[in-house]
Amino acid sequence: MTEKTKAPAWFEHALAQRPESRFVLADGARLHYLGWGLEHASRPGLLFVHGYRAHAHYWDFIAPCFADRYRVAAIDLAGMGDSERRPAYSAASFAADIAAVIHDAGLGPAAVVGHSFGGARALRAAADFPDRIRHVVAIDSICRFADSPPSSAAPPRRPRLDPYPDFASARARYRLTPEQPCDNDFLLDHVARFSLRPQGQGWIWKFDPGLPPGPHEPDMEGLLRGLEIPVDYVRGEFSTVIRPQDAERIVACLRHGRGPVVIPQAYHYLMLDQPLALVAALRALLARP
């Protein structure tokens, strides 16, 4: 690693707090999740939920920053990361996955932080399992309405199905979707490493290529208006996924909504381009009464 991309001390300190790896069976699929400080039964629970085609290790350098006050977990949703695949996926099934991990880890009622696709799924979980979730922080998450214009975002790239010959060639093809600037090469290297698995003599992406493109719900207005829990909405200043007016409309639908909280100089992947600013914002938001 060159001097330009040398990982800072805060990152190394976070990774030194190694999580335990756990599994739970939910609707026939073996789900994987990571846990920090789960042995502290008296602490409140906190769950992190990743975005589309991502995995729990996107939170490896964020979640430990909360392990001194919370029992913390990060889920691999079905069909992603180290969780098993399903024949079919739905908004309801992903919400049930979130509820299953909260129950298995003993986090409930939990605060849930979800990025992008994961934030929308966390909101669905809060509606479907109100006894397990007490607070949601949605980060740059798409919540569509019946009159929303068609998404201008490029569709997800078709994944390569045949294995790459070696890890290096696979890592060279790793891209954020949507693409964005990110100067933190050490963070990209970290999440890319956990995005791949060996198969035979080569390497393939972990996520199920049969995952349908998100979001899965054409109109979330009724769901948002029915939520009785606090919900905070966070947006990246330069996000190409969520426009300012989109974030404002989402918050306006919430009975106990706050925000949008805008992270300066951040794009869609806030944990990669502005990780410490995101930690600071989450600490403040999670401390709300």
**Looking at residue 2, what is its pLDDT?**
41
1 — pLDDT class (breaks 50, 70, 90): very low
CATH of the domain at 138: 3.40.50.1820
**Looking at residue 154, what is its pLDDT?**
55
Domain containing residue 113? 9-153+218-286
Residues 250-278: what's their mean pLDDT?
A: 98
Residues 266-272: what's their mean pLDDT?
A: 98
- Does 200 fall in a domain? no
Assess contact for 146 and 221: CB atoms under 8 A.
yes
- Does 187 fall in a domain? no
- Does 34 fall in a domain? yes
The mean pLDDT value of the chain amounts to 93
- pLDDT tens, position by position, 110-154: 999 999 999 999 999 999 999 999 999 999 999 999 998 776 555
**Looking at residue 151, what is its pLDDT?**
62
**Domains identified in the chain, total number:** 1
- Does 191 fall in a domain? no
Helix (H, G, I), strand (E, B) or coil at 13: helix
- Does 167 fall in a domain? no
- Does 230 fall in a domain? yes
* 126 residue type, one letter: A
d(CA 98, CA 77): 8
- Does 48 fall in a domain? yes
- pLDDT tens, position by position, 166-214: 999 999 989 999 999 999 999 999 999 999 999 888 999 999 999 988 6
Q: Is the pLDDT of residue 161 over 90?
A: no
- pLDDT tens, position by position, 61-98: 999 999 999 999 999 999 999 999 999 999 999 999 99
- Does 169 fall in a domain? no
d(CA 189, CA 172): 10
